[in-house]
Amino acid sequence: MSKAKRTELGQLGEFGLIDHLTKSIKLKNASTLKGVGDDAAVLDYNKKQMVVTTDLLLEGIHFDLTYTPLKHLGYKAVVVNLSDVYAMNATPKQITVSLGISSKMSLEAMDQLYEGIYLACDKFGVDLIGGDTTTSLTGLTISVTALGEAEADKLTYRNQASVNDLICVSGDLGSAYMGLQLLEREKKVFAGNSEAQPDFAGYDYPLERQLKPEPRRDVVELLEKIGVKPTSMIDVSDGLSSDLLHICKQSDKGCRIYEDKIPIDHTTVSLSEEMNFNPMIAALNGGEDYELLFTISLADYEKFKTDNDLKIYAIGHITEASKGCYLVTSSDQEVELKAQGWNHLKE
């Protein structure tokens, strides 16, 4: 068996690495006047509004290279930022990528990472226009900034939900979290027995949701098609409870969501049962689903009934702030929602 080629990054140096990783960039958007190769990118948005968002991913905190393929990681690093742009009801156009690279990384590993980055750019029509690279002593660090555009009257914020608005979600919840639990379980098995093979049979869906999430561009396109502007919107990155509470806090409202209305994929339920875990907890607090959570008027929900191939789910409604934020269980009990999802500063 031949040994895979490994090129040390020191052989290229910083500028040689940048040239290598960016030599194939082709700009797709007219708003990108100048991309990689100067002191700054130059963009022209004319009369449209620009949105900007940034995510930082740290090895050992946000990802584990034991079970995360570098191509998947590059793709995910981009799309989690695009998801934030779509959550503003905007269209992503450009990204920058900055990396902290440890000495254990080879040029071939960087190529795999960038293969995923370029795949995401091509799929969603986004230009890579710059970034930075530096040495890291604590593992791989990835920082992606996404820029997008929207008409001023189309932008959607978190703070405009109204009483009696329906709370909707664009797909099932909890799968990404259970995919992570499965990966962690098999990692522990492997640590105790290096000859063991991972057992992922039947669970491709939650694994894909964790390793290769998809931002919901299709939902934003549907909203445009049927003429619906949400009154508020956010993407489900930290868990349904935490993200819905963001909307309620910023809109100064309360809410009721219903346990029997929250969509959970049957594969997620099966995996949860196998691991003795409550799938509803995964849906409420797991995070990383990157579905869109939004509020709309009752009248607008009628428009989905004739064009709902994307399976938009109504899971509750907005109330006065004085009524609080609660989950109504299948036994008709009210349980207060708490922000128990991903906490970036938790020990």
Instruction: Give residue-wise pLDDT tens across range 330-345.
Output: 999 999 999 875 554 3
* Position 81, amino acid: N
Report the run of H or E that residue 318 belongs to, with start and end.
Answer: strand 313-320
Q: Residue 256 in contact with residue 315, Cβ under 8 Å?
A: no
Instruction: Please report how the helices 107-124 and 13-22 are oriented relative to each other, as an axis angle in degrees rounded to 10.
Output: 40
Q: 20 falls in which pLDDT band (50, 70, 90)?
A: confident
pLDDT (average), residues 217-239: 95
Domains, the chain, ordered by start: 9-150 (3.30.1330.10), 166-336 (3.90.650.10)
Range of weakest confidence among 7-16, 225-234, 313-322: 7-16
pLDDT (average), residues 165-171: 97
d(CA 240, CA 269): 17
Range of weakest confidence among 10-14, 50-54, 116-120, 248-252: 10-14
d(CA 57, CA 287): 15
> Over the range 138-170, which residues count as b (16 or more CB within 10 Å of their CB) and which as e?
ebbbbbbbbbbbbeeebbbbbebbeeebbbbbb
What is the three-class DSSP state of 200?
Answer: coil
- Whether 18 has a pLDDT exceeding 90, the answer reads no
pLDDT (average), residues 246-256: 96
| Model pLDDT for residues 191-211, shown as the tens digit of each residue | 766 666 777 889 999 999 999
